[in-house]
Structure 1
């Protein structure tokens, strides 16, 4: 299970499971990178 993601902007995003990680990553994108959207598969591909 993947629960960590390092955004290229330097933000370290985590979740207790993949669902939470995806939600947290999408929230980060909305807040910090408007116009950038990634689906679940893309986020999990970049995560570790």
Structure 2
């Protein structure tokens, strides 16, 4: 089962149609809202559901 959702600790709900899209959306959110917080694809998917 693909993980396509993640709730950021700031409360923002992030989604993607695929795991790749979720990772892309999370990285964009981090860059725009939490500079300096970088996570690998595996770390993002570990937190996703």
TM-score interval w.r.t. the shorter chain?
over 0.9
1:15 is the counterpart of 2:16 = yes
Q: Write out the 4+ residue segments of structure 1 that deviate beyond 3 Å after TM superposition.
A: none
TM-score (norm 2): 0.97
What is the RMSD of the two structures over their aligned residues, measured on CA atoms?
0.2
Q: Secondary structure at the match of 1:8?
A: coil
Q: TM-score, normalised by structure 1?
A: 0.99
**Number of matched residues?**
48
Unaligned 5+ runs, structure 1 = none
